[in-house]
C-alpha cells in the first residue's frame, strides 16, 4: 500500500470514529484535518470537497461492516446465516479492531440527514440502507426456499421487522443503558423467526 493510500485509510478510520459519536452532517474538512493532525491542504489532497469526504467515510464504514458482519456471518444454511448475522451485527461497532467511541455510524448519519433534500450524501445513504434491507430480504427468500419460512410471508416485511428490532436495541443499549438489551433483542428475534415459520 502506497503512503498516500495508508494516509487516506487512516483519515477514513478516524472519520468513521468521529461520525459514530459526533455525527456526519456537520463534519468538515477542517474538523477532519485537526483530528488527523494534518493541514487542511493535506486533507484536500485526498478529497475534492466536504461531500466527497463524507461519502468516502460512509463507503469505508460499509466496507468495515461487510467484512466484520456480513461476510463473517455467511453460511450456506440460511438459518445459520441469520443467527450469525444477528450475533455479529449486535454491538458491531464495539467489536474487533473497529471499537468506535460512539454507536453505529449509519444510524447516526441517517437521523441527521433524514430531513435533507438534494444531497448526494443522503442519496448515497439511501442506497446503502436499501441494499442492507435487500440483503436481509434475500436471507428470508433463502429461508423460504429451504423450507424454514412460510412462502406466503413477505420477505421485505421480515427485513423491515429485523431492522426495527436492531434500531430499538440501539436506543435501549446506547441511550437508555438497558443491561438486558442484548437479551431482549435475541428474544424478540426468536419470536419473529417463529412468526415467519411454516
pLDDT in tens, 26-39: 999 999 999 999 99
Q: What pLDDT is recorded for position 82?
A: 98
Q: What pLDDT is recorded for position 98?
A: 73
93: in domain: yes
Q: What pLDDT is recorded for position 96?
A: 63
User: 15 and 57 in contact (C-beta within 8 Å)?
Assistant: yes
53: in domain: no
Residue 167: give the domain boundaries. 59-196
Reported as a single tens digit per residue, the pLDDT across 112-126 is 999 998 899 999 999
Grid coordinates representing 152? 406466503
45: in domain: no
* CATH code of the domain in which 112 resides: 1.10.357.10
Query: In residues, how long is the chain?
Result: 198
Task: Please tell me the total count of domains within the chain.
Answer: 1
111: in domain: yes
Q: What pLDDT is recorded for position 126?
A: 96
Using the 8-state DSSP alphabet, how is residue 92 labeled?
G
95: in domain: yes
7: in domain: no
34: in domain: no
23: in domain: no
> How many H helices and E strands in the chain?
10, 0
The residue ranges of the chain whose pLDDT is under 50 are: none
Nearest to 79 by CA among 35, 131, 130, 140: 140
CA distance 35 to 63: 22
CA distance 81 to 70: 9
Amino acid at each position: 500500500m502506497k503512503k498516500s493510500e495508508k494516509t487516506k485509510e487512516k483519515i477514513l478510520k478516524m472519520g468513521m470514529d468521529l461520525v459514530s459519536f459526533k455525527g456526519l452532517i456537520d463534519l468538515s474538512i477542517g474538523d477532519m484535518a485537526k483530528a488527523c493532525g494534518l493541514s487542511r491542504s493535506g486533507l484536500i489532497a485526498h478529497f475534492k470537497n466536504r461531500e466527497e469526504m463524507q461519502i468516502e467515510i460512509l463507503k469505508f464504514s460499509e466496507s468495515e461492516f461487510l467484512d466484520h458482519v456480513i461476510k463473517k456471518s455467511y453460511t450456506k444454511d440460511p438459518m445459520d446465516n441469520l443467527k450469525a448475522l444477528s450475533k455479529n451485527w449486535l454491538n458491531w461497532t464495539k467489536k474487533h479492531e473497529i471499537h468506535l467511541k460512539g454507536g453505529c455510524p449509519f444510524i447516526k448519519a441517517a437521523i441527521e440527514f433524514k430531513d435533507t433534500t438534494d444531497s448526494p450524501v443522503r442519496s448515497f445513504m439511501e442506497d446503502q440502507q436499501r441494499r442492507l434491507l435487500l440483503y436481509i430480504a434475500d436471507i428470508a427468500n433463502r429461508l423460504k426456499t429451504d423450507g424454514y419460512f412460510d412462502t406466503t410471508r413477505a420477505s421485505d416485511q421480515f427485513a423491515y421487522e429485523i431492522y426495527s428490532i436492531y434500531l430499538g436495541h440501539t436506543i435501549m443499549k446506547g441511550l437508555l443503558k438497558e443491561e438486558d438489551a442484548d437479551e431482549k433483542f435475541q428474544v424478540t428475534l426468536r419470536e419473529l423467526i417463529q412468526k415467519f415459520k411454516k
